[in-house]
Amino acid sequence: MAIETWRSATKGEDLLFLLASSFRRQDVLGPENFRPSIDYSRSVALSGFFAGAFLLNVFARSLRVGDEVVRRFGDSSETQLAREMRFELLSKLDLAESDLKDGAMGRIGDAVIAAVYASDRPISNGLRKLVKEEFPKPQCYACGKALGWRASAGLPVVSLDHVWPAAWGGDSVLENLLPACSDCNTSRNDLIGWQWVSAQALVGEHDSGSFLERLPRQYKNSIHLRAVVAYACSARVTLKDAAILIGPVLLEPQKIDERDTTDFFNLVAHDIDRYDPSWSRE
C-alpha cells in the first residue's frame, strides 16, 4: 500500500518510509493517518499526529538500538551484523515479526545499518564548497538572518545544518544541507518531525496575542516543519527544497482561523503569502 512521502535525500528518511510501509495493520499507519497535510479539522489533524508520533517512536528506537549493535558488532562479518541487528530490533522494539509484512524485518535491519553509518559521516570541505556555490549570498533558512561564508564578511558565519538531522541518519550530502545561523542550528535540537513535540498540549488562552508571543521555539519550529513536510509530500520534493520554498520561521506564528481555538493545529509559522497552506486542501 502506497504511503504519501516526500522525496528522500538521506538514509534516515529511507528507513522512516520503510517502517511506515512495513506494518501489516495499515489501520495504524495507513496513508489516511500518516498523511501529514495541514487539515483544519481537529480529528484528522490529531489522528495524523498520533500515527506520526507512533512512527517516530519506532524510528528513533530503531536507530538507538542500531547505534548500540553497530558499536558492538561493527567489526564482525556483514552476515553476523545483519543477524544481530534483526535479533536486537525484534527484542527491543516490542515488535513481533508477525506485526510486519513478510521479510520486512531483514530490510529494516539493513536500512538501520545504512542509517547508522550515514550519521557518522562528516561534511567534507568539497561539500561545503558546493553549498557555497549554491548559496553565494547565504541566509539562515530557519530565521532568515543574513550570513557570511567567512568571518571577515562582518556577518555571522554560516553553519551548515543537516535538514534531516545527522543524529537520525541524515547523510552529509548536498540535498540535505542548508546554511543556518549557529543559534538555529543548535536550537533545532534534532527535531525530526512535527509530532516530536506534544502538540496536543498546546492550547492557548483567550488572549492569543500574549500566548503567541511567549510560544516556545520548539513549537514554532514544529509548526513550521509540519508545513515543510506537507509541502514536500504534495510536490514530491526534498525537505531541503520545501524549506527553501516556504521560507524562514515567523517570529510570531499566526492563527489560521481567528474565531477558532488557539492551538497547535490552528497556527502557521511561515509567511503564507509565499506559500498558502491551502495547497494541501482537497
Please, which of residues 238-257 interact with Zn ion by CB under 5 A?
none
- Report the alpha-carbon distance of residue 268 to residue 208 in Å, rounded: 14
Site string for Zn ion, 87-126 (x = CB under 5 A): ----------------------------------------
* Closest distance to Zn ion from the beta carbon of 100 (Å): 40
Q: Which is nearer to Zn ion, 126 or 154 (CB)?
A: 154
Q: Which is nearer to Zn ion, 63 or 177 (CB)?
A: 177
Q: Which is nearer to Zn ion, 221 or 262 (CB)?
A: 221
Residue keyed to cell 504519501: 4
Q: Which is nearer to Zn ion, 19 or 166 (CB)?
A: 166
Query: 148 has which bridge partners?
Result: 157
Dihedral pair phi/psi, residue 157, rounded to 5°: -80, 140
The count of residues interacting with Zn ion (CB under 5 A) is: 6
- Report the alpha-carbon distance of residue 26 to residue 66 in Å, rounded: 25
Question: What's the grid cell of residue 219?
Answer: 513549537
Q: Which is nearer to Zn ion, 135 or 211 (CB)?
A: 135
In whole angstroms, how large is the CA radius of gyration of the chain? Answer: 20
* Closest distance to Zn ion from the beta carbon of 261 (Å): 30
Q: Which is nearer to Zn ion, 100 or 181 (CB)?
A: 181
Cα dihedral: 85, 87, 89, 90 (round 10): 160
* Closest distance to Zn ion from the beta carbon of 153 (Å): 16
Residue keyed to cell 520503510: 18
Taking alpha carbons only, the member of 46, 15, 47 closest to residue 31 is: 47
Query: 263 has which bridge partners?
Result: 203
* Closest distance to Zn ion from the beta carbon of 251 (Å): 11
Please, which of residues 137-196 interact with Zn ion by CB under 5 A?
140, 142-143, 145, 181, 184
Which span (50-58, 123-131, 132-140, 166-174) binds Zn ion, by CB under 5 A?
132-140
- Report the alpha-carbon distance of residue 238 to residue 40 in Å, rounded: 24
- Report the alpha-carbon distance of residue 269 to residue 226 in Å, rounded: 9
Dihedral pair phi/psi, residue 243, rounded to 5°: -65, -40
* Closest distance to Zn ion from the beta carbon of 64 (Å): 28
DSSP state of 282: -
* Closest distance to Zn ion from the beta carbon of 142 (Å): 5
* Closest distance to Zn ion from the beta carbon of 99 (Å): 41
Q: 133: which residues sit within 8 A by CB, 6+ positions away?
A: none
Q: Which is nearer to Zn ion, 116 or 228 (CB)?
A: 228
Interface positions with Zn ion (CB under 5 A)? 140, 142-143, 145, 181, 184
